[in-house]
Amino acid sequence: MVSLLGIPPQVLFGQLLLGLINGSFYALLSLGLAVIFGMLNVINFAHGALYMVGAFVAWLLLTYAGIGYWGALVIAPVVVGLLGIVLEKTMLSRLYKLDHLYGLLLTFGLALILEGAFRHQYGVSGQPYPIPEALRGGQNLGFMFLPNYRGWVVVASLVICFGTWFAIERTKLGAYLRAATENPTLVQAFGINVPVMVSLTYGFGVALA
């Protein structure tokens, strides 16, 4: 058997694919964080807690409303995004002209509150969530067995990351967003509601979680 760098090809390719799969999870989780920090200069320590809220929304939809995975993929980001808009409007918007440390402390406190509330209500044990029927099983790639769900995560991650980049860098809305973060006064002079754009950007960033 031919080896690469002293490692059997099956092992090497398997580890590379596992790295791609895990990287896709992390890319999706960090994408919203990058949007918020890159566009709004907010160090959002609450991002992980909002990711948890999204997961719980999906679980609650399944448990109490019978809405499965595909419906939750639409509803959960909307719910978390709306929560993010409320947080931005009521709290974060008051701190933009202050030192970044205040935003960091606020979002850190929000993370503790959200995590503590869910821990108190549901405990620390994980909640079961079944893989949808369409994504069960897997594919034999020769060097490893790839679960269909993991493959779906890779594809979804690529599509969402590319779509977010395209929206920010190649559309008129993205140009307005970038201009609003650089010179909000000038952008408002052209009749664009900068506070609303900022709120929607924060909501979109946390919805990506």
The string of pLDDT tens digits covering residues 11-36 is 777 788 888 888 998 898 889 888 88
Q: What is the pLDDT of residue 86?
A: 95
Range list of β-strands (E), the chain: 138-140, 145-147
Span 115-134, pLDDT tens digits: 999 999 998 888 889 988 98
Q: What is the pLDDT of residue 6?
A: 66
Alpha carbon distance 195, 163 (integer Å): 24
Percentage above 90 pLDDT, the chain: 42
Instruction: pLDDT band for 188, please (50, 70, 90 cuts).
Output: confident
* b/e 192-209 (16+ beta carbons within 10 angstroms → b): eebeebbbbbbbbbbbbb
Alpha carbon distance 28, 9 (integer Å): 28
The structure's pTM equals: 0.86
Amino acid at 155: V
Task: Work out the average pLDDT over 56-84.
Answer: 95
**Token digits of residue 139:** 């594919």
How high does pLDDT run on average in the chain?
88
Does residue 1 register a pLDDT over 60? no
Does residue 43 register a pLDDT over 70? yes
| Rounded to 5°, angle at Cα 100 from 96 and 101 | 130
Does residue 92 register a pLDDT over 60? yes
